[in-house]
């Protein structure tokens, strides 16, 4: 009996010891997981994943890993997907659900995002466990371009892959705009140059009449001036945009408009346009004189050149509350509604052949818009075909003195 009890007691003791050791082991494992999973303060997500990749190889299953990720993923402020090794979407961020057209959990990547390119990249990343990056157009997101960053890792159980998506629509559009602008500028610069070269070639002929020689020379002069004006305008616009231009200062618009109307009289006569200026003396606008003069010259020249023979151009100005209103109105041919919304764009021409022939650079109104907006104002255009055009500039008025 005693022997039996002793044996029983030892068996129980051994069992208890085994249990205690097991429990301690489990607790240790839990503690180790917690340490592994707790992100260091300065650790990026990518570093954390790399660290987990290293430890996952050594350690057994890390059970909390995926539930931790679930939290992390859901709250990501951009579209993120977590894929398993069969490229099935295991998890996704809330942002992915709103930005993309219904990707769902437990769906294949191809079904969810409809991109074979992304699938190929994800397949490669998971097979090699190498991070990858690919630019794809996602039809599931209104065919917007995205950069997809693929970050594969080993969860201990299986290979998995994060897909971080970044919408790059703005970048791509900006790039297109830039190359389009470069193409237009070079085209605009080449046109007068081509004219000059052709004229020079003709002038090299020794038998040319003196009269023709003079005519060609003055034509070269005109083209060269246009080229110089164009380069000036482009540089002026870019300095305005870079913010390098000094916009501090104020100008008496009354005095300026009088002197400008005088200066533009020959041009007006050439186009048979009457210019009338009625800006009260002492009306001050918050722009340095050079800027104010550029603004007004561009507005008036534009009206004179494009309103048509026999029309009248009126420049009016005045204070309206805390703003200064400046208006250039003509009773000329007007601008079609289709073109009106574009006239402040660079190099936009309503009538391409005509405006080049008249010597415009295509930048005048664009400069007007930039100058006005840099000074915190706004510019509007109104027009009716056959009845004339009205351009209104509104500028913040300097505080009234006294």
Site residues (vs other proteins, CB under 8 A): 108, 110-111, 114-116, 119, 137, 139, 143
Give the DSSP H/E element, type plus range, for residue 80. Answer: strand 80-83
Q: Which is closer to other proteins, CB of 278 or CB of 341?
A: 341
Q: Which is closer to other proteins, CB of 110 or CB of 394?
A: 110
Distance of closest approach, residue 130 Cβ to other proteins, in angstroms: 22
Per the CB < 8 A criterion, the answer to whether 286 and 398 are in contact is yes
Q: Which is closer to other proteins, CB of 110 or CB of 132?
A: 110
Q: Which is closer to other proteins, CB of 55 or CB of 191?
A: 191
Which tokens sit at 110?
Answer: 């191809």
Q: Which is closer to other proteins, CB of 91 or CB of 119?
A: 119
Q: Which is closer to other proteins, CB of 103 or CB of 388?
A: 103
Q: What is the 3 state secondary structure string of 249-281?
A: CCEEHHHHHHHHHHHCHHHHHHCCCEEEEECCC
- Contacts of range 158-161, beta carbons closer than 8 Å, 24 or more positions apart: 158/84, 158/85, 159/84, 159/85, 159/126, 159/129, 160/82, 160/83, 160/84, 160/85, 160/90, 160/126, 161/82, 161/83, 161/122, 161/125, 161/126
Distance of closest approach, residue 114 Cβ to other proteins, in angstroms: 5
Which tokens sit at 259?
Answer: 């002197």
Distance of closest approach, residue 76 Cβ to other proteins, in angstroms: 25
Q: Which is closer to other proteins, CB of 139 or CB of 387?
A: 139
Burial grade of 175 (CB within 10 A; 0-12, 13-18, 19 or more): exposed
Q: Is 149 helix (H, G, I), strand (E, B) or coil?
A: strand
Q: Is 105 helix (H, G, I), strand (E, B) or coil?
A: coil
Residues near 133 by beta carbon (within 8 Å), at least 6 away in sequence: 147, 148, 149, 150
Distance of closest approach, residue 142 Cβ to other proteins, in angstroms: 10
Distance of closest approach, residue 379 Cβ to other proteins, in angstroms: 26
Distance of closest approach, residue 206 Cβ to other proteins, in angstroms: 41
Distance of closest approach, residue 140 Cβ to other proteins, in angstroms: 8
């Amino acid at each position: 009996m005693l022997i039996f009890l002793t044996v029983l007691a030892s068996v129980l003791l051994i069992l208890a010891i085994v249990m205690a050791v097991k429990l301690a082991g489990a607790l240790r494992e839990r503690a180790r997981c917690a340490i592994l999973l707790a992100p260091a303060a300065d650790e990026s997500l990518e570093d954390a994943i790399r660290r987990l990749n290293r430890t996952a190889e050594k350690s057994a299953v890390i059970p909390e890993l995926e539930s931790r990720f679930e939290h992390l993923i859901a709250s990501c402020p951009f579209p993120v997907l977590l894929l398993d090794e069969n490229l099935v979407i295991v998890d996704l961020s809330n942002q992915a659900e709103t930005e993309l057209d219904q990707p769902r959990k437990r769906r294949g990547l191809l079904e969810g995002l409809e991109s074979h390119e992304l699938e190929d990249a994800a397949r490669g990343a998971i097979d090699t466990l190498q991070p990858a990056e690919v630019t794809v157009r996602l039809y599931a997101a209104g065919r917007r371009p995205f950069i997809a960053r693929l970050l594969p890792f080993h969860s201990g159980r299986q290979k998995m892959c994060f897909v971080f998506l970044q919408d790059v629509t703005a970048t791509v559009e900006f790039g297109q705009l830039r190359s389009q602008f470069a193409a237009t500028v070079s085209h605009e610069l080449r046109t007068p140059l081509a004219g000059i070269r052709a004229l020079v070639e003709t002038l090299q002929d020794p038998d040319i009449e003196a009269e023709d020689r003079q005519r060609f020379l003055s034509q070269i002069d005109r083209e060269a001036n246009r080229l110089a004006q164009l380069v000036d305008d482009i540089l002026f616009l870019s300095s305005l945009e870079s913010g390098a231009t000094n916009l501090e200062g104020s100008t008496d618009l009354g005095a300026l408009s009088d002197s400008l109307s005088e200066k533009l009289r020959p041009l007006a006569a050439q186009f048979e346009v009457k210019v009338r200026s009625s800006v009260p003396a002492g009306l001050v606008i918050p722009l340095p004189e050079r800027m104010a003069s550029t603004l007004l010259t561009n507005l008036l020249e534009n009206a004179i050149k494009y309103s048509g023979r026999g029309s009248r151009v009126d420049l009016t100005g005045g204070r309206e509350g805390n703003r200064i209103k400046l208006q250039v109105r003509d009773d000329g041919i007007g601008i079609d509604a289709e073109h009106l919304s574009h006239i402040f764009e660079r190099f936009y021409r309503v009538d391409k052949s005509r405006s080049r022939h008249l010597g415009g650079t295509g930048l005048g109104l664009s400069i007007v818009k930039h100058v006005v907006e840099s000074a915190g104002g706004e510019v509007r255009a109104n027009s009716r075909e056959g009845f004339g055009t009205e351009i209104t500039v509104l500028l913040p008025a300097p505080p009234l003195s006294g």
